[in-house]
Structure 1
Amino acid sequence: MQTPVPATSTVSRNPAIALVQPHALPILFTLFGVIMGSWAGRIPAMAERVHVSHSALSMVLLCGGLGAVLSYPISSRMMGSLGARKTLLFSGLALLCVLIAIGVAPTVPLLMMAVLSLGITASTFDVAINSAATSRETRTGKSELSKLHGLGCAGGLAGATLGSLMASLHIMPGTHFLMLAGPLAALLYFAYTMLDADDAPATVEKKSFSLPRGPLLFLGLIGFLGSMAEGSIADWSGVFLKEHFGASDGLAPLALSAFSVMMLLARLVGDKLKARYGARPLVTSGAMLGAAGLMFAVLSPNAYFALFGFAVAGLGLSLVFPFVFSAAGAQGPAALAGVATMAYSGSLMGPPVLGAIAQGLGMQIAIAYVGGLAALIAFVASRSQMLK
């Protein structure tokens, strides 16, 4: 009796397709970065279009984090009924539609609804691609999630740069996102067809919210703290340079650029470092390095020294998310979705908490607080048995 050949193996019989298959996940991670970077790069233009105040803009941005937290029942049910491959296709197409809706939203309430939807669709897509990636890691025994997250960083930088170019050409966000959606949808479908992944539904708990338990709680806590730290640096590092050092409008955004570029470069070599040293030592020592970099920025005599501190922080915190998601994904899609939900709740809480600290105690104390979060990541990571 002849043994049936799996569907994924049938596809790979074509040499041309077999050559493209390994690049499907890198394409998907890069594409996700481009989408999120494009959205972030046009936030000022969208805020200006609907005449939103700074306080109202904070509420709009909070809707994205809230949507991410509320996404668990959607992502878990889609993974349970469709599997990772189809979930990433449907959630990715929905994400592109939501991006267009954000670009054309005429009022603040509608913009808030669209950004809430962005949080839901983006986190569902993120869970699906990370689940596909960790499944491939388990199947091949080869670590690659750090490189894939690095490509996501590269896509984010490309999307933000494209957004800046579109803004300089006075192209409205709605038109920009509409121009982007068609090619990205085609690229998404191409990568979906080439993805060497199982379509079998995943076994997940059908709950409205799932807080990780036992050893997974440590992973969720690391993700929560890492998300708080990254989100706070993204939103407030430029403000710190501007308010504390009087940096110009051109120099202040370079704090986030320095942080992001070093994070990208470190993630591209993270998988090789993991194979040699293991995930736990890298996350622990890296978080301590990140804390040192942020304290250096706080105590710097001028903005240029502070830029170096933020670059060191990006290097130190770069491997937190890839290795936490890899460890959670190895326990199955339900574990990954639960840890991801806890992590995304950090992105919801981090920037507003930092803003409150800055308002009451000043920006130096606020950035020092982020350094404290990085040190706490190191403490929790050193006690996590699932980071290997």
Structure 2
Amino acid sequence: MPTPSRPTSTTRAIARTRSTAQAQQYALPVLFALFGVIMGSWAGRIPAMAERVHVSHSALSMVLLCGGLGAVLSYPISSRMMGSLGARKTLLFSGLALLCVLIAIGVAPTVPLLMMAVLSLGITASTFDVAINSAATAREKASGKSELSKLHGLGCAGGLAGATLGSLMASLHIAPATHFLMLAAPLAIILYFAFTLLDADDVGATVEKKSFSLPRGPLLMLGVLGFLGSMAEGSIADWSGVFLKEHFGASDGLAPLALSCFSVMMLLARLVGDKLKLRYGARSLVTSGSMLGAAGLFFAVLSPNAYFALFGFAVAGMGMALVFPFVFSAAGAQGPAALAGVASMAYSGSLMGPPVIGAIAQGMGMQIAIAYVGGLAALIAYVASRARMLK
């Protein structure tokens, strides 16, 4: 009877290589979800942190603006780190810094210190975002397979999980500082293991040494799309619940569902966005989707009650879901410097969105303010139809 052959060293090496390759496939999805958890956890504890430092509503808007300002100012940092370290090391260092900043936000005892911490959050979060999107677009180019929509969908899922965890911690009366300290250690471990598994090049890219680089030529259209998309998404995140409460008299329990409906439908749309891109192309999806988003927002504005408005916000989330993934994918295909420039321009939309919508709401009412966001969505569709780099 023949003796079963033992696996040779070559066979074992091939098996290890296959298992490593399989594990590497999960690194980027984990990193996108982790980023969502961090940002969702921060957003979910904003009310508690505002109460802790006794900040007024006007002062809170200034605190939140510091995050957008930090994102805009991140360009020289992200471009320099990407140029010298590459995407893989940049996401490790910026991710660890982001977790440290999260703790600093939780323990900040005064409004000025909280503003400095949130400014740092904008810088580190934007740098981390540029790094993971650069790694993702590099993998898209190498494999020829679109996957950025699914990855951004996982980021949405992480954000919802982080916000839900924040609500749970708040209901248990756990202070933000304690919450963030409990969160930082396990997330740092997950970050490190995902970093070790990530199959990305450590070779840096040559970038321009400027404090800020406005995209030029066809790339400018991508920057404009990112700017308008960020402005629209940020406005819905900040003001949709206020709209339901002020315009329809919705309860404190019902009003936050506007953002939930928007976010859940955005998540579901992003999970199938890559397959749709293969069939229809990025430009047609962003154009038609943004028109659908505009229709959803106008429907919410003209709705007879809050429940119809929730349906409108859900439609808007589905329609606008693919703007960021496809804009970042197109920019990343041009290199890390192009991605950093487009990302900086995009994040400046989050800086301008809250005060613009607030000013419109103050002068003309929340109904006109949300209608203005619908106009932004329609403008996104117009710009996307002329963006040659969206393919």
The TM tier, using the shorter chain, reads over 0.9
The two structures have a TM-score, normalised by structure 2, of 0.96
How many residues are treated as equivalent by the alignment? 379
* Shift of residue 343, structure 1, vs aligned partner: 0.3
> Which residue is equivalent to 2:292?
289
**Alignment equivalent of 1:308, drawn from 308, 311, 327:** 311
Deviations 1:341-369 (A, max 9, x none): 00000000011100000000000000000
What's the counterpart of residue 151 of structure 2?
A: 148
Do residues 127 (structure 1) and 124 (structure 2) align? no
C-alpha displacement of 1:11? 11
1:213 aligns with 2:211: no
**How high is the TM-score relative to the length of structure 1?**
0.97
Whole-Å Cα distance in 1 between the matches of residues 14 and 224 of structure 2?
40
Q: Does the residue aligned with 2:388 lie in a helix, a strand or coil?
A: coil
Which residue is equivalent to 1:238? 241
Aligned counterpart, 2:267: 264
* Bigger radius of gyration among the two: 2
CA offset digits 1:170-202 (Å, max 9, x no partner): 100000000000000000000000001111111
> Structure 1 residues 12, 141: closer, same or farther in 2, change over 3 A?
farther
Q: What pairs with 1:18-167 in structure 2 (closer than 5 Å)?
A: 18-167=21-170
Consecutive unaligned residues of structure 1, counting only runs of 5 or more, are 1-9
Distance 1:363 1:117 in 2: 31
Query: What secondary structure is seen at the aligned counterpart in 2 of 1:14?
Result: helix
Specify the alignment match of 1:7 in structure 2. none
Matched, 1:253 2:262: no
Quick check: 1:150–1:267 contact (8 Å CA) kept in 2?
yes
| Cα distance in 1, alignment partners of residues 360 and 351 from structure 2 | 16
Quote how far apart the aligned CAs of 1:237 are.
0.1
Take 1:151 and 1:341, find their aligned partners in 2: how far apart are those partners?
Answer: 22
Counterpart in the other structure of 2:387? 384
> C-alpha offsets along residues 322-345 of structure 1, whole Å, 9 cap, x if unaligned?
000000000000100000000000
**CA positional deviation for 1:13:** 4.8
2:353 corresponds to 1:350: yes
Aligned partner (choices 183, 193, 196) of residue 196 of structure 2: 193
Structure 1 segment 5-20 matched on structure 2, within 5 A: 13-20=16-23
Deviation at 1:264, TM superposition (A): 0.1
**Deviation string, structure 1 residues 85-111 (Cα, Å, up to 9, x no partner):** 000000000000000000000000000
Q: Which amino acid is 1:243 matched to?
A: E
Residue 18 of structure 1 deviates from its aligned partner by: 2.0
CA distance in 2, matches of 1:358, 1:144: 38
Percent identity of paired positions between Structure 1 and Structure 2: 89
The whole-number CA distance in structure 2 between the counterparts of 1:18 and 1:239 is 47
Unaligned runs of 5+ in 2: 1-12
Residues 260, 314 of structure 1: 8 Å contact kept: yes
Q: CA RMSD in A?
A: 1.0
CA contact (8 A) 1:11 1:17 kept: no
Aligned residue for 1:375? 378
1:110-146 Cα deviation digits (max 9, x unpaired): 0000000000000000000000000000000000000
Which AA in structure 2 matches 1:132?
Answer: A
CA distance in 1, matches of 2:119, 2:187: 21
**Structure 1 pair 354–185 and aligned structure 2 pair: CA distance change class (3 A):** same
- 1:16 offset after TM fit, Å? 2.8
Letter in 1 for 2:36: G
Contact 1:227 1:346 in 2 (8 A): yes
Match of 1:5 in 2: none
- Partner letter of residue 269 of structure 1? V
User: 5 Å matches for 1:224-235?
Assistant: 224-235=227-238
Aligned partners of 1:11 and 1:18 also within 8 Å: no
Q: Which runs of 4+ in 1 moved over 3 A?
A: 10-15
Deviations 1:28-61 (A, max 9, x none): 0000000000000000000000000000000000
Once residues 171 and 16 of structure 1 are traced to their aligned partners in structure 2, the CA distance between those partners, rounded to angstroms, is: 40
CA–CA distance in 2 between the matches of 1:302 and 1:277?
A: 35
For 1:76, give the aligned amino acid.
S
Q: Per-residue deviation at 1:12?
A: 9.2
**What is the match of residue 4 of structure 1?**
none
**Match in the other structure for 1:298:** 301
